[in-house]
Structure 1
Amino acid sequence: MDRLDGIRAFVAVVDAASFTRAGNRLGISNKLVSKYVAALEAQQGITLLNRTTRALSLTPAGERFLVAARRVLSAVEELDAQARADEGVLSGRLRVTAPVTFGEMFAPVLTRDFIEAHPGISIDLRLTDRYVDLAAEGFDLALRIGVLGDSSLIGRRLGRTESFAVASPAYLATHGRPKHPDDLRDHANVRDSNAASPNRATFVVDGRAISVPLPGRITMNSPQAVRKLALEGAGIALIPRFVIDHDIVEGRLERVLADFPGPQLDIQALYLPQPFIPPRLTAYLEHLRAKLSPLLGKAPPQGS
């Protein structure tokens, strides 16, 4: 067995969490996948996977080996992609992670629109609101929203969006409309735990930023879930503009405190520092800047 076949099989099993699904992905039988992984373990002299009748899991040695295995496959893939790029053809797979709501709303731009222009490219888009470790988990790019902590990643800003304070007409008719950010202290606030400080919000008042508390009994980690409760009159919510633009235009939600700019959120594409940036990644970043950036300050297309 070629050791590279074993590495490919091992990584595919981890990604698919199944020998059968890994075989389908690689175009070989699950028995051959199992044989390749067993041979790799024998060559390395370590157990990479814990196998039970119900589940697969990485051993500690397997977790360490996975990081190196992804690097090896990435390097091999890059050699092939570079050869094709020299001929003017982009190829290979891009693994991209993005926040759930953002990815769901802009999925066509993040996937279909790019591969239609580049038939040799495939995209694996993983939607999650947790911060993915690009190196350990083998991702090429992360799209992230908001204030980022210290990071060794390289970032390109794609745009910026503002969080609007909104509420349903029914809620405002019953509880009144806040006239100043401090008035939020006296309202029910539906909070998004994805925010840097879910229990507080920053507004610009008389040219300077002030932070106000957001009392409330409901906190969730989904802008769409927060939006749904706001639509049902549960309280006032701070929601990124691109999520609720349609609701405001169509009168389902009303913006409050419009005279006091709310939290500004950068939308960035992040990738690992590397001496050579793959041509497909460079092309994808340019695609996002050209196609996605114009949408961020506007309502996304209907049906998105």
Structure 2
Amino acid sequence: MDRLDGIRAFVAVVDAGSFTRAGKRLGISNKLVSKYVAALESHQGITLLNRTTRSLSLTPAGERFLLVARRVLSAVEELDAQARADEGALTGRLFVTAPVSFGEMFIPVLTRDFTEQNPGISIELRLTDRYVDLAAEGFDLALRIGVLGDSSLIARRIGRTESVVVASPGYLEANGWPRHPDELREHVNIRDGNSATSHRATFVIEGKAISVPLPGRITVNSPRAVRRLALEGCGVAVIPRFVVESDIADGSLERLLEGFPGPQLDIQALYLPQPFIPPRLTAYLDHLRRHLGPELGKARPPGS
């Protein structure tokens, strides 16, 4: 057995969660996948996977081996990709993660448009609002919005948006217009649980960044859900502008407190530090920089 076959089979089993699904992903039988993994364990002299009739789990040794295995496969793939890139063709897979609402709104830019221009590239886009460990989970790139914590990842800004305050005409007719950020204390606020400070918002007031409280009874970790509740007149929302741009344009939502800018939100692409940046990753970053910005002001949330 080629050791690379064993490593590919092992990583596929971990990612797919079963030998059967790993076999389908690799185009071989589940029995052959099992044989490859068993041979790899025998060669390494360690048990990588705990197997029961109902589940699979990594052993401690398997968790350590997985990190190295992903790097080995990535390096082999890059050798092939570099050879093809030198001939003018990009090939390989990009494994990308993005926030759910953002990813759903910009699916064409994130996937279709790039793969149409580069037929040798495949993209697997995983939408989740949780923090993703790129190294442990094998991602090439993570897209994140807002202020980032300390990180060893390389960050590249690919776009920018801002937080805006909105409410429906019906809500404002019944409850009045807030004229100053401090007046949000007297309103019902729909809060976005994805924000690290969902109970407060920052505004520029007389040239200074001031944080004000956002009292409210509803907190939901989805900008699309916050938007829907605002459209239904449930309260005032502080929300990324691209989520409600078209609602403001057609009058479904009114923008409030325009004289008090909210914070700028960077949309950033993060990837692991590495001595060699794959050509397909460089090309994808360039694609996002060129095409994402113009789309930020045009997108309308799905299902609207």
Change (3 A) 1:86 1:17: same
Offset at 1:94? 0.8
Partner residue, 2:187: 187
* Map 1:76-225 → 2, pairs under 5 A: 76-225=76-225
Partner residue, 2:38: 38
Distance 2:111 2:294 in 1: 17
Distance 1:133 1:277 in 2: 19
Q: Give the residue type in structure 2 aligned to 1:89.
A: A
What stretches of structure 2 of length at least 5 have no aligned partner?
A: none
SS of residue in 1 equivalent to 2:158: strand
Partner residue, 2:73: 73
Distance 1:52 1:223 in 2: 40
Contact kept in structure 1, 2:244 and 2:300, CA below 8 Å: no
Q: Give the residue type in structure 2 aligned to 1:295.
A: E
Q: Give the residue type in structure 1 aligned to 2:274.
A: Q
Q: Give the residue type in structure 2 aligned to 1:82.
A: Q
Distance 2:138 2:302 in 1: 32
Deviations 1:86-145 (A, max 9, x none): 111111111111111111110111111111111111111111112211112111111110
Offset at 1:184? 0.6
TM-score by length of 2: 0.96
Offset at 1:22? 1.0
Contact kept in structure 1, 2:109 and 2:291, CA below 8 Å: yes
Distance 1:232 1:53 in 2: 49
SS of residue in 2 equivalent to 1:123: strand
Distance 2:14 2:161 in 1: 36
Residues 112-121 or 51-60, more deviating: 51-60
Partner residue, 2:298: 299
Contact kept in structure 2, 1:146 and 1:196, CA below 8 Å: no
Contact kept in structure 1, 2:104 and 2:302, CA below 8 Å: no
Does 1:59 pair with 2:59? Answer: yes
Partner residue, 1:6: 6
Distance 1:105 1:52 in 2: 40
Residues 187-196 or 277-286, more deviating: 187-196
TM-score by length of 1: 0.96
Q: Give the residue type in structure 1 aligned to 2:115.
A: I
Deviations 1:212-248 (A, max 9, x none): 0011111111111111111222211111111111221
Residue identity (%): 79
Distance 2:191 2:46 in 1: 47
Contact kept in structure 1, 2:109 and 2:288, CA below 8 Å: yes
Aligned CA-pair RMSD:
1.4
Contact kept in structure 1, 2:78 and 2:278, CA below 8 Å: yes
Offset at 1:250? 2.0
The number of residue pairs the alignment matches comes to 303
Contact kept in structure 2, 1:129 and 1:194, CA below 8 Å: yes
Partner residue, 1:228: 228
